[in-house]
Amino acid sequence: MKDPWLPQPAVVIDKVMETADVATLALKLVDPVAHARFHFECGQFNMLYLYGLGEVPISIMDMQQGLVLHTIRAVGRISRKLVALEPGASLGLRGPFGNSWPIEQARGRDLVFITAGLGCAPVIAAIRRAIATRPAYRRLVIMQGVKHRDDLLWQEQYERWREVPDCQVLLSASEEKQAHFAWSLGMVTGLIEKAEFDVNNCTVMMCGPEPMIRASMRGLAEAGVGLENCYVSLERNMQCAIGLCGHCQMGTPFICREGPVFRVPDIQQWFLLEGY
C-alpha cells in the first residue's frame, strides 16, 4: 500500500520576496524521477513540510522552468518559517491534492476572475493558461482587490494583461484615500459593475477572504450572473489533505477532497451559514 502520509524531499531553488511578508518559493523535488513526474492542475495545492515544525497546505501558484511555485504569506507558525527559507533550504512536499478550476469546461465563454489579497495566487495559473490559449475563450475580466496599492503582487504582470486583446483588468484598493488613474477605491466587489462581460455566457472564478466571496456572490447575482456558472476556491484547517483528519469538512464536502474549488450552488448552503 502506498503511504499517503510520506512527504518527498524538496529543495528551494529560488526565492522572490514579493512584498515585505510575501515570498514566492520555487521548489524542486530532490528525486529527479519524481520531479519529472510532478504534474498539477490549476487550483490544486501541496502540503509543505518543515523539519521539526510540521505541514501546511499551500496552493500551487504555477510551474515555471520545471519548478513548482508557491506564493506564501508569513502569517502562522509554519508559514513564517517558509517565507524565511533561502535558496538551498530543504523541505518536504506531499501533493498535489484537490480538484481544479473548470478551465477546460469554460472554453468558448467569457472568463471572469475575482480575487482579493493573496487569493490571487490560486488563480494565477488559470489566468496564464487562459491567456496562453487565448482563442479558446471570449472576453477575459481580471479583478483583484488589495488593501493598499503597494500590496499588489505581480503589478507588471497585471499591466501586461491590460495589453491582451479583449482582456479587462480592474484593480481596487480598499484602504487608500487618494484616487489613482488605474485603480478604484473600495472593495473588489465594487468592480463587478464596471466589468464588461456576457452575463449569459461566462464562467466566474473567485478566491479570497470569505466576506469578499459572500459579497461577490451577491454582486454577481445582482448583475444577473447565474451562480451555477460561478466557482470558488475555499479554505479550512487541513491537516492531512487526504480526506481522513476531518478538519476541513464544510457541511457535507471535505474541502481537501471534493474541493478546494466548488461550484457555488454546491457549497452555498454551508458557506453562507456561520459556523460550518
Partner 1 sequence: MQQSAFLPREALSQLFQALQGDGYRVVGPTAEQGAIVYRELGSVAELPAGLVDHQAPGRYRLEQQAHGRYFDWVGTAQGLKPWLFTPEQPLMVAREVEGGLRFESVRETVPPTAVIGLRNCDLAALALQDRHFLQGEYPDPHYAARREQLLLIAVNCHRSAATCFCVSTGDGPEVTAGADLVLDELGAGFWVWASSPRGRALLARLPTRPLAGAHKRRSKALRKRARLQQRALPSTDLREPLYKARDNEQLWQSVADRCLTCGNCAAVCPTCFCSRVDEESPLDASQSTQIRRWDTCFNDEHSYLVGHVVRESAVHKYRQWLTHKLAMWHDQYDRSGCTGCGRCITWCPVGIDIVEEVDRLCTEVKAGAPRE
Q: By the criterion CB under 8 A, which residues form the site for partner 1?
A: 1, 3-9, 11, 30, 49, 51-55, 75-76, 90-92, 235-237, 239-240, 242-247, 249, 251-252, 254, 257, 269, 273-276
Q: Which is nearer to partner 1, 67 or 245 (CB)?
A: 245
Which alpha helices (DSSP H) does the chain contain, by range?
Answer: 32-37, 77-83, 121-132, 155-163, 210-223, 255-258, 264-271
Q: Which is nearer to partner 1, 30 or 221 (CB)?
A: 30
Measure the CA–CA gap between 168 and 113, rounded to whole angstroms.
10
Length reported for the chain = 276
Q: Which residues have C-beta within 8 Å of that of residue 48, sequence separation ≥ 6?
A: 55, 56, 58, 70, 78, 82, 91, 92, 93
- Degrees to nearest 5, angle at CA 134 with 128 and 65: 35
Q: Which is nearer to partner 1, 141 or 256 (CB)?
A: 256
E strand segments, the chain:
8-19, 22-29, 45-50, 54-59, 62-64, 67-73, 90-97, 110-116, 140-146, 167-173, 183-185, 202-207, 230-233, 261-263
Least Å distance, CB 100 to partner 1, is: 15
Q: Which is nearer to partner 1, 51 or 134 (CB)?
A: 51
> Which cell numbers hold the place of 219?
454582486
Measure the CA–CA gap between 89 and 50, rounded to whole angstroms.
10
Least Å distance, CB 268 to partner 1, is: 13
Least Å distance, CB 6 to partner 1, is: 5
